Amino acid sequence: MDLFKNSPPLTGDLALLIMNTQKQPTLIGLDLGGTQLKSFIRSFEGTEDTAEISWPNKNKSTILNQLVQVIEPHLDSDSTPCIGIAVPGFLSADRLKVIRLSNLPQLNGVELIEELKSSLDASREVHWILDTDTNAGLWAESQLGPGESYDRVFYVSLGTGLGGAMVIDGQIVRNANHTVGQIAHIPIGKNRLGAESLLSAKGLLSRVSEGIPPPISTPLELFHLANEDSEQGQHAQKIFDDFGRDLGELLGILGNLFSPEIFILGGGLSRAFEHFQSTCQNECNSFLRSDLEEKIEIVRSRYDGFSGARGAALLSSH
């Protein structure tokens, strides 16, 4: 991490980890989600920008074209741009090829960086890196967020899917296909279902009964309803209580396996953290072995849905 220490006071949090050079590189982080692309861009002048772009349709060509449209305008600077791409799934050992993306299967088997290089100005020098979205989110939150003062950090992404990643002493844990492991398939809950079926956006919405009018079709609608002082609001809060208990069970299992000092929850569903924080922490403590009980803090990510994009940018310059 020497590259990022003792940085000058430039604009934005990310700049705090970059060394003093004559010209800062343009950093581009792209987080490819199941429903949209999120970008984080820090120009060589130090300005920062984030954006969310819904996929117009999800085929390989459209996805690649959208990535090129985001990247291309930032290749005009004199500095060498650093581009990090985060994807939701498994990568080859050399991190050049996508193996499998459950929520973006159109990219399965694609050598993503090579495909992008062929669509951009080949004469431009660019530093590329490809990693998983959970590793990228972890990196942002462990280096710039609530995990920065801990040696053992476990990051859990709650969104379209469910994923996890861990850093120990400044190193990302890479087991199979550059992941810490497939936490999505750990059985939890009274029916011992795979964790992702209960803790993803789809899993959260599957808990909504017909007793909440009007029909709830997005997690955001459920968030807003839980804030209401009404019978429906109480019902929505109960859904989050049950969600928190199931999440707490999963974190208790992971805590016993990996002994992190802190769990950081990211992804879109983490925005509702206040609604399930208490039941989640209590359930987690009840599952932890005695030497860990009440010693692992559970917190919300600092950068919410942009942890992956910001982390990808940061990894690209590492």
Instruction: Indicate if 159 and 293 belong to the same structural domain.
Output: yes
Instruction: Indicate if 292 and 179 belong to the same structural domain.
Output: yes
Q: Residue with structure tokens 């692992």?
A: 296
Instruction: Indicate if 41 and 186 belong to the same structural domain.
Output: no
- Average of pLDDT values for 20-35? 80
**What CA–CA distance (Å, rounded) separates 164 from 181?**
8
CB contact at 8 A, 27 and 314: yes
Average pLDDT value over all residues in the chain: 88
Which pLDDT value is given to residue 317? Answer: 85
pLDDT in tens, 294-303: 789 999 999 9
Residue 198 has pLDDT above 90, yes or no: yes
Which pLDDT value is given to residue 8? Answer: 34
What's the token pair of residue 222? Answer: 């459920």
* Model pTM score: 0.88
Residue 13 has pLDDT above 60, yes or no: no
Instruction: Indicate if 297 and 262 belong to the same structural domain.
Output: yes
Which pLDDT value is given to residue 19? Answer: 47
Q: In terms of residue numbers, what domain contains 236?
A: 148-301
Residue 169 has pLDDT above 90, yes or no: yes
Residues facing 165 on adjacent strands = 155
Which pLDDT value is given to residue 58? Answer: 83
**What CA–CA distance (Å, rounded) separates 263 from 255?**
9
Which pLDDT value is given to residue 31? Answer: 96
- Percent of the residues in the chain that have a pLDDT greater than 70, as a whole number: 90
Instruction: Indicate if 247 and 312 belong to the same structural domain.
Output: no
For the ranges 30-39, 253-262, 285-294, the maximum mean pLDDT occurs at 253-262
Q: Is residue 181 part of a domain?
A: yes
Kindly report the length of the chain. 318
Instruction: Indicate if 6 and 90 belong to the same structural domain.
Output: yes
Instruction: Indicate if 128 and 194 belong to the same structural domain.
Output: no
Q: Which residues contact 42 (CB under 8 A, 6 or more apart)?
A: 12, 14, 15, 24, 26, 27, 48, 313
Q: Is residue 142 part of a domain?
A: no
Q: Is residue 143 part of a domain?
A: no
Cis-peptide into 214, omega within 30 deg: yes
| 3-class SS string, the chain | CHHHCCCCCCCCCHHHHCCCCCCCCCEEEEEECCCEEEEEEECCCCCEEEEEEECCCCCHHHHHHHHHHHHHHHCCCCCCCEEEEEECEEECCCCCCEEEECCCHHHCCCCHHHHHHHHCCCCCCCEEEEEEHHHHHHHHHHHCCCCCCCCEEEEEEECCCEEEEEEECCEECCCHHHCCCCHHHCEECCCCEEHHHHHCHHHHHCCCCCCCCCCCCCHHHHHHHHCCCCHHHHHHHHHHHHHHHHHHHHHHHHHHHHCCCEEEEECHHHHHHHHHHHHHHHHHHHHCCCCCCCCCEEEECCCHHHHHHHHHHHHHCC
Instruction: Indicate if 297 and 311 belong to the same structural domain.
Output: no
With bands split at pLDDT 50, 70 and 90, how would you rate the model's confidence at 11? very low
Residue 70 has pLDDT above 90, yes or no: yes
Instruction: Indicate if 105 and 29 belong to the same structural domain.
Output: yes
Tell me the CATH number at 153: 3.30.420.40
With bands split at pLDDT 50, 70 and 90, how would you rate the model's confidence at 209? confident
Largest CA distance in the chain: 62
Q: Which residues contact 111 (CB under 8 A, 6 or more apart)?
A: 96, 97, 98
Q: Is residue 254 part of a domain?
A: yes
Residue 5 has pLDDT above 50, yes or no: no
Which pLDDT value is given to residue 239? Answer: 95
Instruction: Indicate if 108 and 162 belong to the same structural domain.
Output: no
- Average of pLDDT values for 22-46? 87
Total count of domains within the chain: 2
Instruction: Indicate if 154 and 291 belong to the same structural domain.
Output: yes
pLDDT in tens, 153-165: 999 999 888 999 9
Instruction: Indicate if 20 and 127 belong to the same structural domain.
Output: yes
Residue 248 has pLDDT above 50, yes or no: yes
